[in-house]
Amino acid sequence: MIFSTIIKPVSVNRRTVPGQHRKLITSNEYRNTKTAMSMVFRNQYRGKPITEECAVYLTCGWKGFDIDSWVKIVLDSLQGIAYKNDKQIRFLQIAMGIHKIINIEVVEMSKL
């Protein structure tokens, strides 16, 4: 499966809510961006998500952007679309490109 988006990723920016059960809450910007990305990815792939272990290849062109920030939102956005859960990812390759576009390829490990 191949996906792409021009939506710029944002940081999670979690905050902790005090109380009996400490709870992490993501920022509104993160939730809105994740929802927008998921909608774009859902329009690019209408099949069922992979249920086996998979490999993910990512390329992003926003230089100076924190890699772990944009990887998290992209992987979260693909959950339920490309794969059931991001715990299935056994191989992850990340590359910084030159264009402001995110390209993603998701492949079942059994097909490598």
The tokens of 105 are what? 């390829």
pLDDT band of 47, cuts 50, 70, 90: very high
Q: Give the model confidence (pLDDT) of 58-109 as tens digits.
A: 998 766 667 777 888 999 999 999 999 999 999 999 988 788 889 999 999 9
Determine contact, residues 27/13, Cβ cutoff 8 Å.
yes
Model's pTM, two decimal places?
0.84
Q: What is the pLDDT of residue 105?
A: 97
Taken in order 29, 20, 87, 66, the sign of the CA dihedral is positive
Closest to 40 in 3D by CA, of 12, 8, 66: 8
